Every structure is written in C-alpha cells, then in structure tokens.
Amino acid sequence: MGQDTTSTPLVSIEGLRISLPLGSDRVMAVDGIDLSVKPGKILCIVGESGSGKSMTAHAIMGLVPKPLKVEGAIHFDGHNLADIAPSVHRGIRGSRIGMVFQEPMAALNPVMKVGKQIEEVFRFHNIPGPYDDRIVALLDSMGLPEPELLRHAYPFRLSGGQRQRVMIAMALALDPALLIADEPTTALDVTTQKQILNLLKTAQHERQMSIMLITHDFGVVAEIGDEVAVMQEGRIVERGAVKDVLHDPQHPYTQTLLAAVPDLSPRPAADAEPAPLLSAANVSKTYRTRSGWFTPGREVHAVQNVSLQLGRGETVGVVGESGSGKSTFARIVVRLLTADEGDVRLDGVDANLLDLDTRQLAPLRKRVQMVFQDPFASLNPRRTVFEIVAQGLRAHGVGRREARRRVEELLDLVALDPSAADRYPNAFSGGQRQRIGIARALALEPDVIVADEPVSALDVSIQARVLDLFADIQKRLGIGLLFITHDLRVAAQICDRVIVMRKGEVVEAGTSAQVLFDPQHEYTRLLIDSIPGRGQMPKKHGPATAAAEAMERTRE
C-alpha cells in the first residue's frame, strides 16, 4: 500500500448535508457528516441501502440531482466541491477524481465500442492524440484478454467482470488522485470479486492514489481497506482503522452489520434422511447458433449430465460462477426451459416432467415454484402486491375474497404488513420486494421452491433476514428448497447438501461440511479461497462455528 506523504487529507468533508425530496422517509439523505480521505489510503464507507453512502460520493463528483440541496464543504485541490461552478467541477471530474459505478452495463454506452468510450475521456479533457496505444495499454493493465481486439467490442459482448474492468480503465485513464468505487463487486462471482479487489489494490499502490470504496460487505472491507466509516440513515456512527472496527466494534449498528455477514460454517447435519421429493437425472442442455457468412456455428454445453436428489424439508445448494450452468439447470427444473436430455421427477408423479406438454404440466406447476434473482424485474410494476401474489390463486379458481385472505396471511408469513397488499412494487425496498417474490412462490403451497440467486444483490443485514425467512418457512411447511448461489458463505448458512458446477458439469457434491471443509476439487478450493475477507473477519461463536473449528483441527 502507498504511504502517507503528508498529514493533510486529500479530501476533507465538513458538515455535509444533502436534502431528500418531500415525502421521503426522512428529511436528509446525508445529515452533517465529517469525513476525510488520506493520501495513498483506501477508505471504505459501509452501510445499508439508503444510508447515504452513494449520495456522499455523488456530492464529491458533483452528480447530486437537482433540486436536491447540498450544504457544507468538500475541500479538494483548493476548491470547495460543494460550491463551485459546474464547468470547474467538470474539469476536475475524470481528471483528478475518477469514479467506478455499481452497474457498468448502465454506465457504459451500449452502442459505442469500449475503446471509443475510453477515447472520449481523453478528448473531453483536451488530451492530444494519438490514443490507440494508450487505450490498449490501459485495457492490458486491467488484465483484459486481447486488448487490441477487445477495444473494438461493444459492452454487451463482455462479461460482468470485464465490463467492470473497462469502467476502472476509464476512471484511471487520466491518473486521478482519488478513485471513488461505488459497490464495484456487488453481485459478481467470488472469483471475479477477488480479481477486481486485487486490481484496485494494485492500481492504488502503483499510482499512489487514494480510493474511497463504497460497499455493504464487511468481507470486502477486511480484504482491501485501511480505514472504514460506518453510515446509518445519513450519519456516520463509527469510524476508525479497519482492524479496530472489525475486531472491536463500538456502535450497535456496526455490530449488527458484522453479525449479518454469513459465516463459512457448515449447517448441522439432519437427524434423519429426508423423504425423497424431487430427483433429476442426467439433465443436459446445449445451445446452438447457426453459422453465418463469416461466422462459424457454435455449440455451448450449458448443462451436462447433471443429477441431484432433493428431500422434503431439505435445502440443496447449486454453486458456481456465472456461466457454470446453475440458472439454466434451475429453469429446466421449473420447465421455463426444455432440456435436450434427462429426467426430472416429483414424488408421486411417475412421468418425467421434461416429457410432459403444457396441458399435462399445468396441474403440476403449482407444486414447483421459483424465486428470481431480481425481484423488481420479476414483479409487474403496474400491478398491486395483492394482484401479484394472488395471480396463481386466481388462475386456479380461488375466489377474490378467499384470495385476499390468503394473500394477507402470506404477507404476514414473510414479515410484511397486510396493508402492503394495496401498494405497488416501487414502494418497497429490495429486501421487501424479495419477500413479496417469496410470498408469491408460496401462494400455491408448493412442494419445491427453486431460488435463483435470491440474495446476491441485497445488503448483508437484509440478506440475513431473507435467509432466516427461508429457513423458518421451510421448517414450518416442509418445503424442499433448491438454492442457486455463487456465494459459498450463503450456501454454508442455508444448505444441507451442495453441488458445485463448472462449465455445465458437476465437479463436486456432498454435504455442506464435506464440500466446504474438505473440498476435493481444485475449483471448489478456488471458490473458497476467493471469499472476500476470508481469514481476516472476526470469528463468530456458536454450534456451527464450533463444529467448523473442530473439523479444521481434524484436517490439520
């Protein structure tokens, strides 16, 4: 890490206040915070959605939307960034302060090649050309493959991790003194997360710049940070060196956030073998593209001979990186996709579900329901919560009055007020929307729920509540849960058994304890080693942790 070259902070924030629109849940998005970023250091700002983290970053960048009012001082390079002309701010933005946004696909122009987008940074700040060599060198420094060719690609041709690297390249193009990274690893695979964090640390060290990293994951803080500030409802409630805050948190909110970080501890083994509920045998799916005038046809084996057994009241986790075939397999199980080969059977149904036509499948659909990764995209914004949750009930002939009673019971089951039934999805937070998705899945009293990355983009505290909700509902209703995730910490918390997928194939399978604490395949070990903050987070205490420590001692 770079060392302090001066005692003077690079950025000094004093009494920063940012208003919220009328009718919001509070008056101020940021309420009188004082904060500083030291030269050559990484400051992490941690908190849940709505805590004011991103709004603070936008104030530094001059991106707070009007008519929101910014008060206070942000001292940088002899300027008060909270009160300077927009033209002056534009000159600083990009050249002296760079920013990496949370969702690169939304921040990048989808109809412009990535090389041209980086070139725009140079042109905007009147940097003389030629630019080609600089662009290729930047992309190469980000560890991107074949940068000479990649600069001619459009963003949609790149993976999530590659798009994030392009965003970092754009932010670093003019060697800024400060880089602001707003949730740069949210929803990325653990291996890609580790690569991005290592890339940021390397760039910070080589360029002797400062980084303000915004995150909700204390694992990321432990991995990369020098100092940390914890924000709650627009205020800073705790700050200090990362090691001090991690191992001796003073504020109850900080303690709550730390307690919510999933622990890599095995779930206790079940007392008895669960009754069989769902089985999949040798399921395969291949995608084929036709050849064109200048492009050969392609075959992608998305799922290859995948088999598993799911018992009543049991949770089976399917883990792996993006592109491993997890979601394709999940969609085959619920028949949103049709497999090329294989056999999927429900307990009590002799026929292979993959062989049934739509008419034959209709009465069985209510037995297998799905919770999707993005709750906002999967909920119709034009329908009320009642209409969304009751849709399946109404389709199966349940009267409106009975459907209303059932919806209110379901909302209470997922810890939402029954009055939520008359509101629309945009009135809820991400965690609340995911609860609505779970209520919808439970409406038809299914035997199996397939949950596809249901907590990957949620704050850790909300994530913990949703996972507890799944466990509670499963215990009460005896539902079988097929849980798709890339986060092995989450798999350890909720899954009885785990299968690990890579490039469409199962490379390892077993109980959570076997797979997570005695992995046999190098890919499983890579996933475990890539968990942010592994080995640096404070240990939790309890039965699962004690069991994990005992297993570690046995292995040694």
- Average the pLDDT over 474-482 and give the result: 88
* Structure token digits, residue 364: 């069985």
Q: Which of 130, 128, 140 is nearest to 168 (CA)?
A: 140
Phi/psi at 116 (nearest 5 deg)?
-65, -35
Identify residue 225 by its one-letter amino acid code. Answer: G
What is the per-residue pLDDT for 292?
Answer: 64
pLDDT at 151 exceeding the cut of 90? yes
What is the per-residue pLDDT for 7?
Answer: 66
What is the per-residue pLDDT for 540?
Answer: 63
Of these ranges, 184-193, 234-243, 432-441, the one predicted with the greatest mean pLDDT is 234-243
pLDDT over 90, % of the chain: 52
Locus of tokens 């890609």: 192
What is the per-residue pLDDT for 294?
Answer: 59
Q: Is the dihedral of CA 528, 534, 535, 539 positive or negative?
A: negative
What is the per-residue pLDDT for 456?
Answer: 77
For 276-307, what is each residue's pLDDT tens digit? Answer: 899 999 999 998 877 666 567 778 899 999 99
Burial class, 551, CB count within 10 angstroms (exposed 0-12 / middle 13-18 / buried 19+):
middle
**Residue 158: band (very low, low, confident or very high) from pLDDT cuts 50, 70, 90:** confident
What is the per-residue pLDDT for 290?
Answer: 74
Percent of the chain that is helix, strand, coil (3-state, to 5): 40, 25, 35
413 dihedral zone (left: phi>0; alpha: psi -120 to 50; beta): alpha
Mean pLDDT of the chain: 87
Report d(CA 178, CA 229) in Å as an integer.
Answer: 17
For 489-548, what is each residue's pLDDT tens digit? Answer: 889 888 999 999 999 999 999 999 899 888 999 999 999 988 888 777 776 644 444 433
DSSP state, residue 181: E
* The model's pTM: 0.80
228 within 8 A of 239, measured Cβ to Cβ: yes
Lowest model confidence (mean pLDDT) among 166-175, 259-268, 371-380: 259-268
Burial class, 397, CB count within 10 angstroms (exposed 0-12 / middle 13-18 / buried 19+):
exposed
For 19-78, what is each residue's pLDDT tens digit? Answer: 988 877 788 999 999 999 999 999 999 998 888 999 999 999 999 988 889 999 999 988
State the pairing for strand pair 70-76/79-80: antiparallel
What is the per-residue pLDDT for 333?
Answer: 92
- Average the pLDDT over 299-328 and give the result: 91
- Average the pLDDT over 312-341 and give the result: 91
In this predicted model, which residue has the larger pLDDT, 210 or 293? 210
What is the per-residue pLDDT for 554?
Answer: 38
Q: 157: helix, coil or strand?
A: helix
